Every structure is written in structure tokens, then in C-alpha cells.
Structure 1
Amino acid sequence: MVQGSRLDRLEDSRFKEVKRLKKKQLPHQLHWYLKQDYFSEELLGIHRFQIENFQRICTEAFLLFEKATQKILDEKRLNEFSIPPFFEECIYHSWNNRDKHPFLLGRFDVNGGLKNNDAKIIEFNADTCSTLPETVLWQDLQHQQLPLGNSQFNNLSHDIGEILLKLKHKISHDEPFILGSSFGYKEDILNVNTILDIGHENGFKSFYVNLEEVIFSHEEGILYEINGEYQIADIWFKMIPWDWMFTDEPQLAKDLSAIIRKDLCTVLNPAYAALWQNKKFLAYITRHFPNDYIAETFIEKPLLQEFVTKPHYGRLGENIEIKGKETTLSKGDYAHQDRVYQRFHPLEQDREEYYYQTGIFYTDKPSALNLRTQENLIITDDCEFMSHFII
């Protein structure tokens, strides 16, 4: 059924409702999400030119990330981005050997671009980005309910597989292993297993263990015990932030630095993702590479009527404050961190007062689009996930 009166001033056909999918129709990877009242039963239609614009600005942004990273490394300025001295050599090594330590995936969060507003990138989830099962699996299942001829922008599984295949060709033995780990939260495990499933489809043996079960050896690399024997991992995919290691488990960061510098294991996302995750990096880009697609970000409080303050390593929309005509603040665990300041670019809102944020997954190219929506000017972990189709 076509839904009208959703996004203000957009044609009725922008929203289509599909039938609620039942548990028996879903792969087991999505069962947990059904309990969260998380999935929307509507899909938003996005014009092809809008998707092409999202792709363009994210491609341009990623190129700037690469240029800015090279400049920071050339000028030896990693200390300005909360990178501990003992980890700097690891970042240099992984960056200078990106064929062995490639970037796997991240998600650009974009405000605007769905109406006539300019699209602005406000963040890059470069280290431990989530929404993988819902993007890879749920969007496809909902999309299958639309009439033939509809399409979506969703190549994420294929593009991740292509990067893993390139790594596979660099492994000298016939049975490469990819190990996945997290802190053990259910959602994190499901996100990690999405990557492991893609690895399995591309010829890897894959296995999941929580972080405390992983063994880190300066001589052998990264291992785990299975059936009384120790298996060496060729690739370790982690949902464990680099910045958490720097502050809470520096010995783990030191062990990984030694393993990476010896090329004993490929860790994804690579060490230089810690730099990209830091929002001070966005302020560096604003200063040295001014552009029209990343929201202006500053280290010092700007002379702006409306701006946003964010913790430099914050996640999940926590501890964000929007200052303008009214002040909006979210709670969280990052209040103790240094802040950055960003020009305020509002989310687009529908007549039912839901706000919309676009996520563009980036591998070595723009790979997929998803949407999150919430009755809140700050999108948090309590949002609703929405699929899309191309008009």
C-alpha cells in the first residue's frame, strides 16, 4: 500500500508499506532484532539522482580522508589525535602497506539530501560500524516484497567479499581462517557474524569467539583454541574499538601493534581507522582541506548561532549537544572526553515529526544505503531502521 503525508512536500509514492515479515520467514541472524521493535514496515523511495549525490560526496570525502591522513603522517602529528606514542609506528605500517591492511568498511552518516536540502556528512563510523545484518539481510527481504522493477542501492555483501577475496589471494596456504570477536553483546555478535558469513561465502573458514578467548602472540599472531588445538587466524575482524584499547587495555594495543607490524595477521578495521574515528580528524579536514560535503568541524567553539558539540570518540549518538534556538542534549558514557564543535545541519523531518538520517556504507567505494529514523533531533541507539527503494 502506498503511504502519503509522510515527508513534507514529497510525493505520496515516496513511502511504500510492506507486510510484516514473520520470524519463520527470516534467517536466524535477524530473530534478535524482531524483539527490539526496531524494523519499520515502510520503505522510503529515494530518487536515483539523490543516491548518486550521496555516492559522490562520500567518494570525495574518502579521498579527502586519504589526503589528510598522508599529510598528518608526513608531518608526524598523530599525537594531536589521541594516538598513544607506542601505537604510532603501527599506524604508519598499516597505512604504508594498505595492500595487506586494507580498509574493510565504514559508514558515513549524512544529514539532508532527501528533499531539496544539501547533503552533509556529519560523521564517519570508521572503526566498529554496525547495522550490518539489517542492511545486508533485512533490506533485501523487504525489497523482495515490492513489485518487480524496483531496485535498491545495496552492494555491501558483494563489495566486502571482493576485499576479502583480494586478501585471500595474498595468503600462502589453501585454508585461510578469519576470526571474529566482540565484547559479547548480542548485537555485536550478529554484526561480526555477518562479516564471517561473507568470508565463508568467499572461501574462508570462519569462527567467532569473544575477546577474552582470543590469544595474542608476538611470535605466532592471533590464535584461538578449538577442540584442544590452537588455530592461527589469518584475518581478525573485531567489534572492539581501537580507542577503547588505548585507554582501557593499552597492553592489548601494544600486542596488536607488534603482531601487525610483523604482518602476522590482518586486523580489520586496520590501525589507521583509529585516526578516522576521531572527530578531531574532521576538524583537521575543515582547516586544511575546506570542502562543501563534510560539515564544518572545529576544535575551538565557533562563532555560530547554531552548532553541535560532540565527544571526539563518541558513538551511538551519546553525549551530543545541539545549541541553537533551543538546546538538545543526549546522555551517554562519553561526557569526560574532549569535545569538537560542528556547524549544525538539521535532519529532515516528516509531518509525523520523525527525523531521518542516511547511512552510506563505504568499502573501497560507496556500497550501500540505509536509513534510521527517530522522534528525536539526535539519532541514538533507540532509532528505527528503515529500508529504501530507488524511484
Structure 2
Amino acid sequence: MRREHSTPRDGWEKTIEGQGLAYHRAAHPTGLARPYWDESVHYVFSMAEIEALEEQVEELHGMCLRAVEHVVSTGRFADFALPEWSWEEVARSWERRDPHLYGRFDLRYDGTGPAKLLEYNADTPTSLLEASVVQWFWLQDVHPGDDQWNSLHERLIDRWRALRLPPGPVHFAFTNADETGEEAMTVAYLQETAEQAGHPTISVAMEDIGWDDLGRRFVDAGDQVIRSAFKLYPWEWMLSDDFGHHAVRHATWVEPLWKALLSNKALLAVLWELYPGHPSLLPAYLDGPRELTSYISKPLLGREGASMRIVTPGGTRETPGRYGREGYVHQGFEALPEFGGERPVLGAWVVADEAAGLGIRESTGLITDDTSSFVPHRIAD
């Protein structure tokens, strides 16, 4: 694993916008000198490194599924700060094996040993278009003889074909609250993969979904019944909404309700309980840092690196935010490796239950937040 510099393509901004990354200017806070999509640098891996990472990711995914089974079978829903009324519905969703689509592991990796799990974004992961489409076309333009860990597009289409969904169109829901356009474009891309798999689809804003009390069903703005829907909208938000009680019982949602356990950072503590000392895990606890002298406290339902606290013998650092009301997990802290003054976090994608691709985000800080930049990668063998 190494970091290399390269010359950006002429007109790269228009190129990536034509490939769907229309939000790259809005994805960053204003005033940053570095663009969100940065092809002036990229990472190079050996095939042996990628094969090892694929194996580790699929092992981690299997461990996570067994953790869900453990939580459901032991009734540990309170550790995840889920509302008590939803516990039985989460269990039923898992017992039915409600269909799931994809997820993204965030990993610490420096090329010298097993990757370490930082968290699992298994409900509403983004940076998908960058990883699946945009960096693939970069590779074809700049390094056409090389390979890339990237079978995302094909695997997403195959997964949509395999999903057994109710008859009728699949609705694809985004929220109007997103001002950058990232979520709308991510949903539009996933909608395209579903259409390529043969599903009729309809686009809808979450804010435009209505509840037909007489018919006991969800409907869109045109009164079309919603029988199945992909939503880029977190389950914790849905469970706190007025229609949350209906959502857990009506319509087939992708991602399913049981994914609320995988997208919650309490998962990290459960994994450490079930697999203590595993080489791809960092110690993690819900009741405090225990023996850890260097640790990071993460809100169970935090996003974009907000509301985190790093404690080391050298001092304490905190990020601003409004998360943490539900509680924290305390995870052993190992700083992200440094390459050329930047710290990469690997976003390893899973589609269905198989490793499917890699996206890399860089930042100068110890926590990857909304100031990070996405950089492409290649396999040089």
C-alpha cells in the first residue's frame, strides 16, 4: 500500500459531474482548499493486499451477522438505545431475514497487518457513487492496464435481481433535508441499478410519503401504494417519527429494520464480547473505557465524526456535535496511519454478504469527518 501523486485529468470537474458526482462542490464545508474528489493523489495496492482485505471484510460481516443473532436471542436491545416498543419488531425482522442490500465497513489499515474495524455503516452508507462509478472511470482514463477492487455496480444489479420483493414498483426515497444533493444522487444511482435488474421504480421524497389510515398502507404523492421501498433514511429517525409504528409493520424496507443493530456503534462492544482479542477488532465497551489508556468515545448514533472524544496519555481532543443523548461506546484508539501528511480510512463495501469494493477518504485530522476528501485507488499487479 502506497500513496502516489498524479496529474488530474483536463476538465475533471465536468467529467465527474457527468458521471453523477454533481454534489462534489457542495459535499465539503465552504472555505476548504482541497476538493472533495481529489485525483491528484491515489493509493496503490498489491493484489495480495486486496485479497487479504476481502477475506477480512467477509469474516467481519459474518461476525456482525452472528452478533445480530446474539442480540436478538438474548434480548439486548436496550444496549442499542432502541425504543422498547420496537424490540419485538426488530427481532421479527431478523427472524424473517428481511432482505438487505449493502453496507460499508470503515477500516484502519496501513498495509502491514490485519485491518481494524472502526465502525460498520450498514443502514445508510454514502460515498457509493464515488467508489462504484467515478473512480472506475478514472482508472480507465489514467491507468487502463491496472485493476481496482470494484465489482460494486455488477453486484448491486445481481443483488436486486435476487431480492424477493412484493409485486409492483420499488419506491426509492431520499430526504429533502439534504442540501448537498449527495443523498438524492446516491438514491438515483441505486434506483438505476434496480432498473437494470428489471425492477420498475418510482422516486419519492420521504417527506412526501403519506399514510392511508383507512387502507392501512403507505402511499406516495400520487396515491400509488408503497409495497417496497429503498430509503436512504436512518432507522433511528424512522422509529422516532410519528409514522414509525406503522413503518415497522407495513411495506418492505431496504435496508430492513434489523440493520438498525448493525448501524449502531454498540455493535462494536458486542463484537468485542463475542470475539475478544480478534486481530481485526479494537477493544470496545459500553460501560466505560475500563483498562484502556487510549480510547475514543463515540456516540451510538453519531454521524460524520461529530461528538467524539479522543483520550490519550498526551491529552484529550473533542469534535463538536449534537449526538450522544443515547449513550457512547468506548473503543480502543489507534491513530489512522499517515501517508504524506494525510490519514486514510478505508471504506470496504459489502453487497449482500460478499466483499464488493473499496473507497478511500483522507483527512489531516485523527477523525474522518465532512472535511475529508475521496481519493481513488488501483491495483498495480
TM-score (norm. length: structure 2): 0.89
Cα offset, 1:312, TM superposition? 0.9
Q: Please name the residue that 1:53 is paired with.
A: 52
Cα offset, 1:45, TM superposition? 0.8
Pick the aligned partner of 1:19 from 2, 9, 34.
Answer: 9
Check conservation: 2:19, 2:134, Cα contact below 8 A: no
What letter is aligned with 2:298?
K
Cα offset, 1:318, TM superposition? 0.7
SS of the residue 1:367 aligns to: strand
Q: Structure 1's 146 and 309: CA in aligned 2 closer, same or farther, altered over 3 A? A: same
Check conservation: 2:101, 2:255, Cα contact below 8 A: yes
Cα offset, 1:126, TM superposition? 1.3
**Cα distance in 2 between the residues matched to 1:47 and 1:16:** 18
| Residues 1:107 and 2:100 aligned together | no
Q: Please name the residue that 2:169 is paired with.
A: 176
Report Cα offsets for 1:76-131 as digits up to 9, x if no partner: 22233212222122212221222xx222111100012x332441011001111111
What letter is aligned with 1:202?
A
Q: Please name the residue that 1:126 is paired with.
A: 122
SS of the residue 1:33 aligns to: coil
Cα offset, 1:310, TM superposition? 0.6
Check conservation: 1:357, 1:373, Cα contact below 8 A: yes
SS of the residue 2:64 aligns to: helix
Cα offset, 1:40, TM superposition? 0.7
| Residues 1:360 and 2:348 aligned together | yes
| Residues 1:94 and 2:93 aligned together | yes
Cα offset, 1:279, TM superposition? 1.2
Cα offset, 1:18, TM superposition? 3.8
What letter is aligned with 2:21?
L
Pick the aligned partner of 2:38 from 40, 52, 56.
Answer: 40
Cα offset, 1:24, TM superposition? 5.5
| Residues 1:285 and 2:275 aligned together | no
Check conservation: 1:17, 1:43, Cα contact below 8 A: no
Cα offset, 1:27, TM superposition? 2.1
Q: Please name the residue that 1:262 is paired with.
A: none
**Cα distance in 2 between the residues matched to 1:217 and 1:273:** 26
| Residues 1:328 and 2:326 aligned together | no
Identity of aligned residues (%): 23
Q: Please name the residue that 1:316 is paired with.
A: 304
SS of the residue 1:57 aligns to: helix
**Cα distance in 2 between the residues matched to 1:221 and 1:52:** 45
Question: Which consecutive residues of structure 1, in runs of 5 or more, have no partner in the other structure?
Answer: 1-6, 260-264
- Give the count of matched residue pairs: 364
Question: Which consecutive residues of structure 2, in runs of 5 or more, have no partner in the other structure?
Answer: 29-34
Check conservation: 2:170, 2:230, Cα contact below 8 A: no
**Cα distance in 1 between the residues matched to 2:280 and 2:212:** 43
Cα offset, 1:204, TM superposition? 2.0
Report Cα offsets for 1:127-162 as digits up to 9, x if no partner: 111112212221122111123321111111221222
Q: Please name the residue that 1:3 is paired with.
A: none
Pick the aligned partner of 1:272 from 242, 246, 258.
Answer: 258
SS of the residue 1:31 aligns to: coil
TM-score (norm. length: structure 1): 0.87
What letter is aligned with 1:213?
D
Q: Please name the residue that 1:239 is paired with.
A: 232
Q: Please name the residue that 1:162 is paired with.
A: 158
**Cα distance in 1 between the residues matched to 2:362 and 2:254:** 29
Q: Structure 1's 233 and 203: CA in aligned 2 closer, same or farther, altered over 3 A? A: farther
Q: Structure 1's 348 and 329: CA in aligned 2 closer, same or farther, altered over 3 A? A: same
What letter is aligned with 1:79?
A
**Cα distance in 2 between the residues matched to 1:132 and 1:104:** 13
Q: Please name the residue that 2:376 is paired with.
A: 387
Moved over 6 A (4+): none
**Cα distance in 1 between the residues matched to 2:344 and 2:7:** 17
Check conservation: 1:319, 1:331, Cα contact below 8 A: yes
Is the deviation greater in 376-385 or in 18-27? 18-27
**Cα distance in 2 between the residues matched to 1:145 and 1:18:** 11
| Residues 1:195 and 2:166 aligned together | no
Is the deviation greater in 375-384 or in 216-225? 216-225
Q: Structure 1's 313 and 135: CA in aligned 2 closer, same or farther, altered over 3 A? A: same
Cα offset, 1:220, TM superposition? 5.4
